[in-house]
Structure 1
Amino acid sequence: MDFYELFNWGLLLVTFAVMIGIGFLSSRKVKDSDEGGFLLAGRSLGAFVGASTIVATGFSGWGFMGSPAVAYEFGAIELLGNFFFAPAIMIAVLFFANHMQNRAIHMGSNTIPEYIGQIHGGGAGGRLLQGVAAFMTIILLMVFLVSQIKAVGMLGASWLNIEMTSSAWLMISVIILYTMLGGLAAVAWTDTVMVCGMALAAIVIMVQMFTSVDLGLWEANLNAINPSLLNPETAAPYGQSKGSVFLVLPYAFLFAAVLPYMAIRFLAFKPNVKMHKVGIYVAILGALLSLIPLVGLYMRAFGPQLADPDSAMPMYLQTFMHPALQGIITLFIIFAMKSTANSMLHTVASATSHDLRLALNKHAEVDSPHALTVNRVAVVALGLLGLLMMMYAPPFMLSWLGILGSGTLLAAMIGPVFISTFWQGNVAGALVAMLVGFFTSGGLLLSTDIGWVEGPLIGCLASSITYVAVSMLTRTRVSLPQRAR
């Protein structure tokens, strides 16, 4: 083991100690009979911490591993697609977070599936919706979690010079430990540390690229390889029409406002937090991280030819960075991927230990004496399950698997979470809408070559129409006998 490998291991062990320490300190917000402390960080997130955890989770593994891979494979279209995420998330924070937070506080919602059940009347129908929403959340976010574990395992393996499986075991074990200790508070505070490192890494990478080559040479090299890299004929992988890339804006907005592992942050803010401050922090951090896809174009123009686009970022660091700087930036990128992995792990564990428990047992209680133990056991069990799924999963492109999980869940949840803000449906409408969104988006992504955002957005449209139509039809049928009397 040479000096720089020892240096990397030292960095890793120090940051592991910091993450676990944050988890231990965050555990003080978690009382034995208070699920809100574990599930929502005691509604204690301030403007900067809240913005940091939203941005870290939204960009993360996709931003540092997935988007450079897409830019390497498909070209400059990914720069525009990735850029839309920052303004979309900011719009969701400014115009949706406050409303959702207020309703959740009024109802006492601790999770998004619970919010769905309560906003549609509670009772037996509400428990049914909570259970179905929780089941979909578990299934689809476990798919996404597998892609995050693989991403962090791949990068950690090349960084530490160990096997990918060993790397994945090492990384997920620490995530499990601090998430189990502190719940969402630990996730949010570790995300804050992580996103500061991510922003610094983005600045260093931009300085290296733009000071090392002439822009004209960069352009000439890309055009010599394939003119469509800079002048795309389609918006692939987002769709065949050039305009399909603009669909990323509404997709990213709904991504932030509806997906359980993102929208749960809105419920965890302090009641008096100023959302415009959150929006400013989101804009600054998001703008920096939106530049990362340039690495893919840089590697395509000046780096070695890659058989696997997902290796664009690791190979960039190995080829163009000093070993010490490579180690530090790689650590920050591992931070990025952990920020989404810990969020999804916390969300699926909450859906399992809280939502399914309440949905399946009408006598179950929130804040019961053993609830916290169940929450923590779920974190461990599902984290290990995700690791095992990654080990036996067939080959896949990280970005596509992430879209399959998050995009399909988005299509399932849009009606009962987002449309209900403007037009209140009923239990039947919400249930059918979730099923239609699930099967429409999932079916399109799995069985066709449709664009990555087109499939989920078609699912969103189908789900939204179904939510309104079925709610209106079932209301009419219920009211007819009353009118007859």
Structure 2
Amino acid sequence: MDFYEWFNWSLLIVTFGVMIGIGFLSSRKVKDSDEGGFLLAGRSLGAFVGASTIVATGFSGWGFMGSPSVAYEFGAIELLGNFFFAPAMMIAVLFFANHMQKRALTMGSNTIPEYIGQIHGSGSGGRLLQGVAALMTIILLMVFLVSQIKAVGILGASWLNIEMTSSAWLMISVIILYTMLGGLAAVAWTDTVMVCGMALAAIAIMIQMFTSVDLGLWHTTLNTIDPNLLNPTTAAPYGNSKASVFLVLPYAFLFAAVLPYMAIRFLAFKPKVKMHKVGVYVAILGALLSLIPIVGLYMRAFGPELTDPDNAMPMYLQTFMHPALQGLITLFIIFAMKSTANSMLHTVASATSHDLRLALNKHAKVDSAHALTINRVAVVALGLLGLLMMMYAPPFMLSWLGILGSGTLLAAMIGPVFISTFWQGNVAGCLTAMLVGFFTSGGLLLTTDIGWVEGPLIGCLASSFCYVTVSMLTRARVPAVQRG
């Protein structure tokens, strides 16, 4: 083992200690009978921590590993597509988070499936919706979690000079440990540390690229390789029309406002937090991380030819960065991937241990004596399940698998979470919308060559139409307290 391998291992061990320490400190604030402390960090997130965990979760492994690979494969269209995420997340924070936070606080919602059930019904109807929403969350976010585990495994393997499976085991074990200890508080605070490193990594990468090459030469080289890289005739992989890339903006907004592992942050803010401050932090951090796909174009022009586009970022670091800087930036990118992995793990564990427990047992109670133990066992079990799924999954492109999981869940949840803010449906409309969105988006992405955002957005339209139409046809009087 040479000096730089020792350096990388030392960095990893130190940061592992920091992450586990944050998890331990967070666990001291989680009482044995307080599920809200574990599931929602006791509703204690401030403006900067809340913004940091939103951005870290939103950009994550997809931003640092997936988007450079898409830019390498499809060209500059990915730069525009990726850019839309920062303003979309800021809009979601400024115009949606506050309302959702207050509504959830009034009802005592601890998770998004519980929020859906409480809004649309009580008794068996509410439990049915909570259970269905939880099942969809578990299934689809486990799919997404597999892509995150693979991403962190690939990068960690090349960084530490170990096998990919061993790397994935190492990384997910630490994520399981600190998430199990501190719940969402540990996730949010570790995300805050991670996103600061991610922002520094983005700055260092931009400095290296733009100071090492003439822009005219870069442009000429890309045009020589393939004119479509800089002047695409389609918006592939987002759709066949050039305009399809602009669909990323509404998709990214709904991504931030509706997906359970993103929207749960809105419920966890302090009641009096200033959302405009959160929005400013989101805009600054998101703008920095939106630059990362440029790595794909840099590698296409000046890097070695790649058989697997998902290796664009690892090969860039290996080829163009000093080993010490390569090690530090790789650590920050691993942070990025962990930030989403821990969020999804926490969300699927919450859906399993809290939502399914309440949905299947009408006598189950929130904050019961063993609830926290069940929450923590679920984190361990589902984290290990995700790792096993990754080991036996067939080959896939990281970004596509992420879209399949998150996009389909988005289509299922848009009516119950987002449209219900403006127009209140009922149990029948909510259930129909979730099922239609699930099968429409998932079916299109799995069985057709439709654009990556087009399939989920078509699913969103179908789900929204069913939410309103079925609710109107089967409307029953909804008690005023449930209308928020």
C-alpha offsets along residues 46-86 of structure 1, whole Å, 9 cap, x if unaligned? Answer: 00000000000000101100000000000000000000000
Counterpart CA distance in 2 for 1:159 and 1:480 is 56
Q: Determine if contact 2:121/2:482 at 8 Å carries over to the other structure.
A: no
Per-residue deviation at 1:475? 1.7
Counterpart CA distance in 1 for 2:476 and 2:162 is 63
Per-residue deviation at 1:28? 1.6
Cα pair distance change 1:419/1:17, threshold 3 Å: same
Counterpart CA distance in 2 for 1:440 and 1:208 is 43
Counterpart CA distance in 2 for 1:57 and 1:292 is 15
Per-residue deviation at 1:235? 0.1
Counterpart CA distance in 2 for 1:143 and 1:114 is 22
SS at match of 2:339: helix
Q: Which residue of 1 aligns with 2:22?
A: 22
Counterpart CA distance in 2 for 1:482 and 1:182 is 31
Cα pair distance change 1:32/1:307, threshold 3 Å: same
Q: Determine if contact 2:119/2:482 at 8 Å carries over to the other structure.
A: no
Counterpart CA distance in 1 for 2:170 and 2:235 is 38
**Structure 2 residue runs without a partner (length 5+):** none
C-alpha offsets along residues 9-28 of structure 1, whole Å, 9 cap, x if unaligned? Answer: 00000000000000000112
C-alpha offsets along residues 19-52 of structure 1, whole Å, 9 cap, x if unaligned? Answer: 0000000112210000000000000000000000
Compute the TM-score of the two structures, normalised by the length of structure 2: 0.98
Cα pair distance change 1:142/1:478, threshold 3 Å: closer
Cα pair distance change 1:415/1:326, threshold 3 Å: same
Cα pair distance change 1:319/1:480, threshold 3 Å: closer
C-alpha offsets along residues 346-391 of structure 1, whole Å, 9 cap, x if unaligned? Answer: 0000000000000000000000000000000000000000000000
Per-residue deviation at 1:476? 7.5
Cα pair distance change 1:324/1:254, threshold 3 Å: same
SS at match of 1:32: coil
Q: Which residue of 1 aligns with 2:118?
A: 118
Cα pair distance change 1:362/1:206, threshold 3 Å: same
Do structure 1's residue 372 and structure 2's residue 364 form an aligned pair?
no
SS at match of 1:330: helix
C-alpha offsets along residues 254-289 of structure 1, whole Å, 9 cap, x if unaligned? Answer: 000000000000000000000000000000000000
Q: Which residue of 1 aligns with 2:191?
A: 191
Counterpart CA distance in 2 for 1:215 and 1:30 is 53
Per-residue deviation at 1:481? 25
Per-residue deviation at 1:292? 0.2
Q: Which residue of 2 aligns with 1:415?
A: 415
Counterpart CA distance in 1 for 2:392 and 2:441 is 25
Counterpart CA distance in 2 for 1:22 and 1:481 is 38
Cα pair distance change 1:478/1:69, threshold 3 Å: closer
Q: Determine if contact 2:118/2:482 at 8 Å carries over to the other structure.
A: no
Counterpart CA distance in 2 for 1:226 and 1:55 is 33
Q: Determine if contact 2:119/2:483 at 8 Å carries over to the other structure.
A: no
SS at match of 2:440: helix
C-alpha offsets along residues 85-107 of structure 1, whole Å, 9 cap, x if unaligned? Answer: 00000000000000000000000
C-alpha offsets along residues 262-320 of structure 1, whole Å, 9 cap, x if unaligned? Answer: 00000000000000000000000000000000000000000000000000000000000
Cα pair distance change 1:381/1:482, threshold 3 Å: closer
Counterpart CA distance in 2 for 1:308 and 1:428 is 45
Q: Which residue of 1 aligns with 2:174?
A: 174
Counterpart CA distance in 2 for 1:106 and 1:480 is 13
Q: Which residue of 2 aligns with 1:292?
A: 292
Per-residue deviation at 1:123? 1.3
Cα pair distance change 1:374/1:229, threshold 3 Å: same
Counterpart CA distance in 2 for 1:158 and 1:483 is 52
Per-residue deviation at 1:122? 2.0
C-alpha offsets along residues 381-407 of structure 1, whole Å, 9 cap, x if unaligned? Answer: 000000000000000000000000000
Counterpart CA distance in 1 for 2:191 and 2:479 is 50
Q: Which residue of 1 aligns with 2:31?
A: 31
Cα pair distance change 1:153/1:482, threshold 3 Å: closer
Counterpart CA distance in 2 for 1:140 and 1:459 is 15
Cα pair distance change 1:225/1:470, threshold 3 Å: same
Per-residue deviation at 1:158? 0.2
Aligned identity (percent) is 91
Cα pair distance change 1:220/1:173, threshold 3 Å: same
Counterpart CA distance in 2 for 1:483 and 1:240 is 41
Counterpart CA distance in 2 for 1:124 and 1:424 is 19
Counterpart CA distance in 2 for 1:109 and 1:169 is 33
Cα pair distance change 1:167/1:471, threshold 3 Å: same
Per-residue deviation at 1:121? 2.2
C-alpha offsets along residues 422-450 of structure 1, whole Å, 9 cap, x if unaligned? Answer: 00000000000000000000000000000
Counterpart CA distance in 2 for 1:193 and 1:470 is 45
Counterpart CA distance in 1 for 2:246 and 2:479 is 43
Per-residue deviation at 1:480? 21
Q: Determine if contact 2:83/2:287 at 8 Å carries over to the other structure.
A: yes
C-alpha offsets along residues 133-182 of structure 1, whole Å, 9 cap, x if unaligned? Answer: 00000000000000000000000000000000000000000000000000
Q: Determine if contact 2:27/2:182 at 8 Å carries over to the other structure.
A: yes
SS at match of 1:162: coil
Counterpart CA distance in 2 for 1:157 and 1:283 is 32
Counterpart CA distance in 2 for 1:211 and 1:261 is 38
Cα pair distance change 1:129/1:10, threshold 3 Å: same
C-alpha offsets along residues 170-225 of structure 1, whole Å, 9 cap, x if unaligned? Answer: 00000000000000000000000000000000000000000000000000000000
SS at match of 1:315: helix
SS at match of 2:33: coil
Per-residue deviation at 1:482? 22
SS at match of 2:365: coil
Q: Which residue of 2 aligns with 1:310?
A: 310
Counterpart CA distance in 2 for 1:289 and 1:246 is 19
Counterpart CA distance in 2 for 1:300 and 1:187 is 35
Counterpart CA distance in 2 for 1:398 and 1:63 is 11
Counterpart CA distance in 1 for 2:28 and 2:348 is 22
Cα pair distance change 1:158/1:122, threshold 3 Å: same
Counterpart CA distance in 2 for 1:139 and 1:460 is 18
**Structure 1 residue runs without a partner (length 5+):** none
SS at match of 1:475: coil
Structure 1 residue ranges, 4+ long, deviating more than 3 angstroms after superposition: 476-484
**Correspondence list, 1:419-430, <5 A:** 419-430=419-430
Q: Determine if contact 2:63/2:292 at 8 Å carries over to the other structure.
A: yes
Per-residue deviation at 1:483? 24
Per-residue deviation at 1:119? 0.5
Counterpart CA distance in 2 for 1:419 and 1:318 is 46
Cα pair distance change 1:147/1:478, threshold 3 Å: closer
Counterpart CA distance in 2 for 1:253 and 1:483 is 24
Counterpart CA distance in 1 for 2:28 and 2:445 is 43
Q: Which residue of 2 aligns with 1:164?
A: 164
Counterpart CA distance in 2 for 1:434 and 1:207 is 45
